[in-house]
Structures are given as structure tokens and as C-alpha cells.
């Protein structure tokens, strides 16, 4: 949220200065060399009504200009990676081809650390020289702030986002108010449930993966499973194994998943507009469900551990909720224990398994770029797309412990959606307060919601008014 605060500060400054109007004049004649565009004869009788021009039908000569690609991490340029794998080698060839095609240089720019990244982008954009033409942005930075303040621009004016070469996640997470802004060729790490298959067999429980494949991994089954898994295994009268050891992000992240996997939301109404929505029936049902798991069944480890992954490794929980990238920690530290990985269970209002994440980021086009369209086509052409996804699956085969967990991971790659409320000032803090109230505080969901609703709505109003 530090990055968001920086965005808010910059945007407030912009609002006061009233200079944002200049963003509409992104074209400039001050550039040293204008790209030469030669349109080829398309021939007569072309009745294609699509106004988007096919980039392959025009030749663009950038006369040696540099297209800059902005990131916040090291080793983003595959050409500088010391130990290159198949993905790096493949992308290097694409970069070389793009540089030759457009007569340009492609440079990856790391401009500031994560906490100052957006501030650097907005400040350099207002100076007329954004640090990059294409920038990698967190979705909660982009929507609605950077879109409404016109620091980035829609890309569906130049590409057809419905093209099957683009993944569903790109369309789901990268669109805003009916336009496509983000481009990405792979989905982010999904959030699911790890489980100890060895313990499952020892305790005589149904395997969650088998239930998932039959479409029976539901809230009812999850609750039944968790209660049966919560046991006193040594006979001392105290629970020593819980159904759920906890979650990455603690109960806040767990509860987010329950809300969204029941087709609820924190900040979106049925039309997709930004609005406080935790008082909707699907969300309230999810909050009550989490409260019951914690207070009635007591199947979630208590007291809540600081690091639930350690408790899972120690065998104190049959399940643990977390991101797929945590797998190596478990395989390294749970020798002799077989692991499984499944989606969160479907809520009563859901019709399919979906993983949700608030942490997606994508390539977006600077409104102030002098070569915006060409820069977009370059990032598109140097993306690995299907080849990259196949390489990822090959690497998963080396790391996932069995074909069942590997199958779940592949399913998740094409069934992931976005949690957007992190863009709201103090949104995480307010939601976390609700979760604490309904679990440790034993407060009803309705009471917990009413407690924060005025502040949530005030913060949403502030967000929207500051970013008109």
C-alpha cells in the first residue's frame, strides 16, 4: 500500500496544479527523429470494417530510437541474464527480430524500487519524458488512478484483445470500464490450498483432489473435511492437528478467497462498478462461513500463528492456504510427506473453481510515449505467449510432486481472476478489521460490516473524486 500512498500524493498535486489537461496533448514535435511509417497498398475490395490497423501491414522505421520497457526488478532483460534457460534464449531471438524490424533499440529500464516506482513514472511523465514507453504496473496502481488521470492509455485501439492468443487473465484483470489496458502473456501465481496427502490417508479422509475432479469440493465438503481433520491425536485432551493450519496473509487472505469464490466482492456491484459490496448476500454468507469455521468448528488453528506455513510443515494442519510459489518451501522441508494442491472450495453461489489474486501486474502503455503504438506492438511481439506457457508447464513438471497437483496448477493458469479492492485507501486495513471481528471478536458479520461501512464508503468516494 506504500505505492498507493505515493500515487495518491502525486495525484493530489496534479489536481491542485491543474496540469493534467496537458496529458491530452501527448503528440509532440520536439522529438529528434520522427518514425517513418510506410503504408502498404491493401488492395481493392477490402471490406474489413475493423478500424484497428494491422501492424503487419505497415512498415515503421524508428531510425534507431530506443523503446524503453520499465520494470522495478533486476534481470528483466534476458540478454543480461548470466545463466540463460530456454525462455531467455527464445525471447532474445524475438528481441533481435523486433529491433531489426523496427530499426530500433530495446532497453529494459529499472527505475526506482517498488515503493517509488509509480511516483517516478508519474513525475517523469509530467515532465514530458516518461522513463519508459511500456511500463509494468500493478493493477491496483492502474485502476482507476492512472487510467482516470490519463497516465496510461487503452491498447484495444491497436490490438484485438479477443484474439485467442491472449489469455483469459489478461482480459479479466487488464480491462477497465470497457477498455483493455493491460497486456501479459502468463497468469500470476494462483492462490489455493496445499494439503498433506500423507496425513489425509492416515486420518482416513477423502482426498480433496478427487472431490475437486468430481465437482464435489464444496463449502459443505470443506467444512466436513476440516472438522474430521481436527483431532487430538495423542490423547491429552488438546487439539494437536487442525483441519487448516492457516494461510499466507493470515485469515484476511483466507476470507478474501471465500468471499470471491462465492461470487461476492468487497468493492464491485453486479454491474462491475466500484461500490462497497460486502453487505451483499454472497459476501455476508462467506463471512458467516469463515466465522463458523473459526468459532463453531474450531477447525482453523488457534491462536492464529504468525507463520502458518511453519505449522503446516510441522504437521499441525492438514491444509494450508497459499500461493503456488510456496511449493518449494514445502517440498524442501517435508521430506517423506506427499503433498497435494487444490482450488478453494466452491461456495453455494459459484458454478466453477476459480483462484483469485490481488497481485496481478501487466504491461501498459504510457500516454506520454512518443511511439506508443509501436511500443505496444514490440512488447506484444517479444512476448513468448504459448511457447512461454509450454516452457512453464515443463518446469512445473519438475517441481510439482505428483500428476494431481500438476493438473490443478494447469487448471489454475486458465481460471484466475482479480481482487480489486486494494486500490481503495486503507481497504486492506478495513477488511482485516472485519475479519478480526468475526473470528477472534466473535462479532456477527452484519455488525462487523456496519462498523466499517461508513469509512469504506468515504474512502471509495475519495478515491473516485480524486481520480475523475
Task: With residue 247 as reference, give the H or E element that holds it.
Answer: strand 242-247
Residue 28 pLDDT exceeds 70: no
Per-residue pLDDT at 70 exceeds 60: yes
Residue 24 has pLDDT above 90, yes or no: no
Instruction: Grade residue 31 by pLDDT with cuts at 50, 70 and 90.
Output: very low
What grid cell was written down for 142?
A: 492502474
Average pLDDT over residues 2-14: 39
Q: Which residue has the higher pLDDT, 28 or 283?
A: 283
pLDDT at 36 over 90: no
What's the whole-number average pLDDT of the chain?
89
CA 445/CA 427 separation, integer angstroms:
17
Cα–Cα dist 290/99, whole Å? 53
Rounded Cα–Cα distance for residues 463 and 465 (Å): 6
Q: Over 50: is that where the pLDDT of 4 sits?
A: no
* Pairing mode, strands 191-196 and 339-342: antiparallel
Q: What is the structure's pLDDT at 42?
A: 36
Contacts of 15 (CB under 8 A, 6+ apart): 466
Residue 77 CB neighbours (<10 A): 18
pLDDT for residue 249: 97
The alpha helices in 144-239, defined as continuous H runs, are 147-148, 168-173, 197-202, 208-213, 219-229
d(CA 233, CA 193): 23
The pTM score is 0.85
Rounded to an integer, what distance in angstroms lies between the CA atom of residue 401 and that of residue 213? 18
What is the predicted pLDDT for the residue at 39? Answer: 39
Q: How many C-beta atoms lie closer than 10 Å to residue 48's C-beta?
A: 8
What is the residue extent of each domain of the chain? 2-22+53-187+360-383, 191-358+403-466
Q: What is the pLDDT of residues 356-381, one digit of tens each?
A: 999 999 999 999 999 999 999 999 99
Q: If you average pLDDT over residues 234-263, what whole number do you get? A: 97
- Which residues are bridge partners to 418 per DSSP? 357
Is residue 190 a contact partner of residue 327, using CB atoms and an 8 Å limit? Answer: no
Q: Which fold has domain 2-22+53-187+360-383?
A: D-Maltodextrin-Binding Protein; domain 2 (3.40.190)
- SS3 readout for 405-439: HHHHHHHHHCCEEECCHHHCCCHHHHHHHHHHHHC
Q: 159: alpha, beta or left, given left = phi > 0 and alpha = psi -120 to 50?
A: beta
Of 52-66, 177-191, 406-420, which range is least confident? 52-66
Q: What CATH number belongs to 191-358+403-466?
A: 3.40.190.10
CA proximity to 227, closest of 321, 291, 299: 299
pLDDT at 210: 98
Query: Residue 47 pLDDT more than 50?
Result: no
Give the pLDDT confidence score for residue 122 in this predicted structure: 97
Coil, helix or strand at residue 133: coil
The SS3 call for residue 159 is coil
| pLDDT at site 91 | 98
Could you give the 3-state DSSP secondary structure of residue 69? strand
User: What tens digit of pLDDT does each residue of 384-441 get?
Assistant: 999 999 999 999 998 999 999 999 999 999 999 999 999 999 999 999 999 999 999 9
Task: Count CB-CB contacts under 10 A for residue 31.
Answer: 11
134: enclosing H helix or E strand: strand 134-138
Query: Looking at residues 144-169, what average pLDDT do you find?
Result: 96
Angle at 333 between CA 331 and CA 334, to 5 degrees: 70
CA neighbor of 110 nearest in space, from 136, 85, 145, 83: 136
pLDDT at 44 over 90: no
Question: Of 49-58, 311-320, 403-412, where does mean pLDDT reach its minimum?
Answer: 49-58
Largest CA distance in the chain: 86
Q: Is 271 exposed, middle or buried (0-12, 13-18, 19+ CB in 10 A)?
A: exposed
Cβ-contact 151, 140 below 8 angstroms: no
Using pLDDT thresholds of 50, 70 and 90, give the confidence band for residue 58: confident
pLDDT at 261: 98
Amino acid at each position: 500500500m506504500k505505492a498507493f500512498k505515493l500515487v495518491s500524493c502525486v495525484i493530489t498535486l496534479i489536481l491542485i496544479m491543474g496540469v493534467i489537461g496537458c496529458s491530452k496533448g501527448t503528440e509532440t514535435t520536439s522529438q529528434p527523429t520522427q518514425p517513418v511509417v510506410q503504408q502498404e497498398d491493401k488492395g481493392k475490395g477490402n471490406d474489413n470494417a475493423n478500424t484497428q490497423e494491422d501492424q503487419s501491414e505497415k512498415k515503421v522505421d524508428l531510425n534507431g530510437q530506443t523503446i524503453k520497457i520499465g520494470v522495478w526488478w533486476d534481470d528483466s532483460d534476458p540478454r543480461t541474464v548470466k545463466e540463460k534457460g530456454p525462455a531467455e534464449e527464445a525471447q532474445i531471438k524475438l528481441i533481435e527480430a523486433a529491433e531489426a524490424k523496427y530499426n530500433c533499440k530495446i532497453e529494459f529500464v529499472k527505475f526506482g524500487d517498488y515503493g517509488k516506482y509509480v511516483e517516478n513514472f508519474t513525475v517523469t511523465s509530467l515532465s514530458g519524458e516518461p522513463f519508459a514507453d511500456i511500463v509494468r504496473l500493478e493493477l491496483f496502481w492502474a485502476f482507476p488512478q492512472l487510467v482516470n488521470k490519463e497516465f496510461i492509455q487503452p491498447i484495444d485501439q491497436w490490438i484485438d484483445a479477443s484474439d485467442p492468443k491472449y489469455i483469459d487473465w489478461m482480459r479479466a484483470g487488464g480491462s477497465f470500464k470497457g477498455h483493455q489496458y493491460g497486456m501479459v502473456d502468463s497468469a500470476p501465481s494462483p492462490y489455493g490450498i496445499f494439503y498433506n496427502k500423507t496425513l489425509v490417508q492416515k486420518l482416513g479422509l477423502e482426498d480433496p483432489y478427487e472431490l475437486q475432479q468430481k465437482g464435489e469440493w464444496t463449502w459443505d465438503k470443506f467444512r466436513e473435511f476440516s472438522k474430521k481433520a481436527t483431532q487430538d491425536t495423542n490423547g491429552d485432551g488438546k487439539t494437536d492437528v487442525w483441519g487448516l493450519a492457516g494461510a499466507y496473509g493470515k485469515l484476511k487472505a483466507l476470507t478474501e478467497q471465500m468471499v470471491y469464490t462465492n461470487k461476492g466482492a468487497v468493492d464491485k456491484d453486479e454491474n462491475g462498478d466500484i461500490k462497497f459490496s460486502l453487505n451483499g448476500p454472497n459476501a455476508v454468507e462467506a463471512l458467516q462461513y469463515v466465522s463458523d469455521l473459526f468459532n463453531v468448528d474450531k477447525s482453523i488453528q488457534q491462536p492464529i500463528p504468525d507463520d502458518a506455513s511453519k505449522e503446516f510443515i510441522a504437521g499441525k494442519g492438514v491444509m494450508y492456504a497459499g500461493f503456488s510459489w510456496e511449493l518449494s518451501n514445502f517440498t524442501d522441508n517435508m521430506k517423506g510427506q506427499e503433498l497435494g494442491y487444490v482450488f478453494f472450495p466452491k461456495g453455494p453461489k459459484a458454478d466453477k473453481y476459480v483462484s483469485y489474486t490481488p497481485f496481478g501486474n501487466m504491461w501498459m502503455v504510457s500516454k506520454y510515449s512518443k511511439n506508443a503504438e509501436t511500443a505496444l506492438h514490440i512488447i506484444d511481439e517479444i512476448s513468448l505467449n504459448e511457447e512461454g506457457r509450454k516452457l512453464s508447464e515443463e518446469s512445473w513438471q519438475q517441481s510439482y510432486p505428483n500428476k494431481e497437483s500438476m493438473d490443478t496448477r494447469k487448471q489454475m493458469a486458465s481460471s484466475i481472476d482479480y481482487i480489486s479492492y486494494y486500490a481503495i485507501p486503507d481497504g486492506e486495513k478495513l477488511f482485516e478489521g472485519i475479519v478480526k471481528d468475526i473470528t477472534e471478536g466473535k462479532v456477527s458479520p452484519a455488525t462487523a460490516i456496519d462498523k466499517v461501512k461508513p469509512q469504506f464508503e468515504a474512502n471509495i468516494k475519495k478515491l473516485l473524486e480524486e481520480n475523475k
